[in-house]
């Protein structure tokens, strides 16, 4: 990547999916313009805004005002914050709120929040009336660069993360970069794990750029917008090539198989581990496991760990507070993961920085042995 210049305060990434194509707008001040942008694209004049108790005091009033000024009649539902909100109970609450608001197919469900709200609201939008319009207004770095784009929605169960859901593409994504200034350092770092992931999948130049420019990404400005736009473009390219994860889209799960197992092992307790932290540890584990299988140099795994550690992310299972269940329990979670096909383990492994690939039929015995080795 080239040096960053502040030529534009806003970027647009188009997701070209034919009749379901949509725009991702990235830049400051987009919540204040949300009503105008939505009204220009959607025919409906009602919207059901779904948010959580952390985000609502910060941005809900501004969004509602913007919608009303654009002639859109909004309703609202404020849910508890946290991963445990991605449940059947709260899915029913969202569906009921959407129906109570008389949202029809051309009207919109608007997700105002991070990945939890986006995944939950998108699932509801996909099943109410067999599908209504959906707008993402992501308020975390993680949701801006990952979960708001691509149409994957879902909830968690005791069997694992995101095992129940539908593919339902948004009609618009408004990534207001101003909102990132209110994130805690921990939340921003967790989102950054997904940014780094895009470089590690197949864009080594982007990863090298991040190694040089990560401090500017964290401090804001042009570098932050550029990193988000590059991440969204990378995800758009993969989604367009494989919308329903039948092939190369699985590469987006780099680090997630190990990461999801760790999230399940901590019962989705955000005090111990949040999603991006699980991805960070999982990404290091994926590179180390690739090295163990003689697919990649151990130097690559060390380089990944060094960078993620430099930005303040956890990189080892031992970095997770509290005790973890035995390796065998982690293995059970991996075996339940949605990336298992016909009982065969599928992992995203790598041959080096930016050289990830889908590995089918990974021996379970090798995975279990590796988990025992890495277990704190």
By percentage, how much of the chain surpasses pLDDT 90?
Answer: 85
The CATH number of domain 11-182 is 3.40.50.1970 = yes
Parse the chain into domains and list their residue ranges: 11-182, 198-374
Residues 273-286, buried b or exposed e (16+ Cβ, 10 A)?
bbbbbbbbbbbbbb
Query: Rounded CA gap, 319 and 12, in Å?
Result: 37
Binding site for Zn(2+): residue ranges? 194, 256, 275
Specify binding-site residues for NAD(+). 115-119, 139-140, 152, 161
**pLDDT score of 3:** 45
Q: Which fold has domain 198-374?
A: Dehydroquinate synthase-like, alpha domain (1.20.1090)
Q: What is the pLDDT of residue 315?
A: 98
316 in catalytic set: no
Note if 256 is an active site residue.
yes
Q: Are 138 and 113 in contact (CB under 8 A)?
A: yes
One of 245, 263, 277, 305 is an active-site residue; which one? 245
Q: What percent of the chain has pLDDT over 70?
A: 96
245 is catalytic: yes
Residue 344 exposed, middle or buried by CB count within 10 Å (0-12, 13-18, 19+): exposed
Q: Does the annotation mark 249 as catalytic?
A: yes
Structure tokens that stand for 10 in this block: 């806003």
Q: Among the options 46, 76, 197, 275, which is catalytic?
A: 275
What integer pLDDT is reported at residue 159 of this predicted model?
83
263 has catalytic annotation: no
Tens-level pLDDT at each residue, the chain (376 residues) = 544 444 457 999 999 999 999 999 999 999 999 999 999 999 999 999 999 999 999 999 999 999 999 999 999 999 999 889 999 999 999 999 999 999 999 999 999 999 999 999 999 999 999 999 999 999 999 999 999 999 999 999 888 888 999 999 999 999 999 999 999 999 999 999 999 999 999 999 999 999 999 999 999 889 999 999 999 999 999 999 999 887 888 899 999 999 999 999 998 898 999 999 999 999 999 999 999 999 999 999 999 999 999 999 999 999 999 999 999 999 998 987 655 666 678 899 999 999 999 998 898 889 999 999 999 9
Q: Please confirm, yes or no, whether 159 is among the known catalytic residues.
A: no
Tell me: the pLDDT tens digits for 86-101? Answer: 999 999 999 999 999 9
pLDDT digit string (tens) for 183-242? Answer: 999 999 999 999 999 999 999 999 999 999 999 999 988 999 999 999 999 999 999 999
CA dist 355 and 349 (Å) reads: 8
Q: Which has the closest alpha carbon to 132: 159, 155, 111, 149?
A: 111
328 is an active site residue? no
The catalytically annotated residue of 224, 235, 307, 374 is 235
> Active site includes 260?
yes
Q: What per-residue confidence (pLDDT) applies to 286?
A: 98
């Amino acid at each position: 990547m080239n040096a960053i210049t502040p030529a534009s305060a806003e970027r647009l990434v188009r997701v070209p999916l034919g009749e379901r194509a949509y725009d991702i707008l990235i830049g400051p001040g987009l919540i204040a313009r949300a009503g105008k942008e939505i009204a220009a694209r959607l025919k409906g004049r009602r919207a059901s805004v779904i948010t959580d108790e952390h985000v609502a005091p910060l941005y809900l009033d501004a969004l509602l005002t913007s919608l009303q000024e654009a002639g859109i009649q909004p309703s609202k539902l404020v849910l508890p914050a946290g991963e445990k909100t991605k449940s059947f109970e709260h899915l029913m609450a969202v569906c009921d709120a959407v129906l109570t608001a008389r949202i029809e197919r051309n009207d919109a469900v608007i997700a105002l929040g991070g990945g939890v709200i986006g995944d939950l609201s998108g699932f509801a939008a996909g099943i109410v009336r067999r599908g209504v319009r959906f707008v993402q207004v992501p308020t975390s770095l993680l949701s801006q660069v990952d979960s708001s784009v691509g149409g994957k929605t879902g909830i968690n169960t005791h069997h694992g993360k995101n095992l129940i859901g539908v593919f339902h593409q948004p009609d618009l994504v408004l990534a207001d970069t101003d909102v990132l200034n209110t994130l805690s350092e921990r939340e921003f770092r967790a989102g950054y794990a997904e940014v780094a992931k895009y470089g590690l999948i197949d864009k080594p130049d982007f990863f090298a750029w991040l190694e040089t420019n990560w401090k500017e990404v964290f401090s804001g400005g042009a570098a932050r917008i550029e990193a988000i736009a590059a991440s969204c473009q990378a995800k758009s390219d993969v989604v367009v090539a494989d919308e329903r994860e039948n092939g190369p889209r699985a590469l987006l799960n780099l680090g997630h198989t190990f990461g999801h197992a760790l999230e399940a092992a901590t019962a989705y307790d955000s005090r111990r581990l949040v999603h991006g932290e699980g991805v960070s540890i999982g990404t290091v584990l994926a590179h180390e496991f690739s090295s163990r299988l003689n697919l990649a140099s151990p130097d690559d795994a060390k380089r990944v760990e060094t960078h993620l550690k430099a930005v303040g992310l956890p990189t080892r299972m031992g970095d997770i507070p509290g005790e973890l269940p035995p390796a065998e329990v982690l293995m059970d979670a991996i075996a339940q993961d949605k990336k298992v096909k016909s009982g065969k383990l599928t992992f995203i492994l790598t041959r080096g920085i930016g050289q990830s690939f889908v590995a089918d039929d990974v021996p379970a015995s090798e995975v279990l042995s590796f988990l025992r080795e890495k277990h704190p």
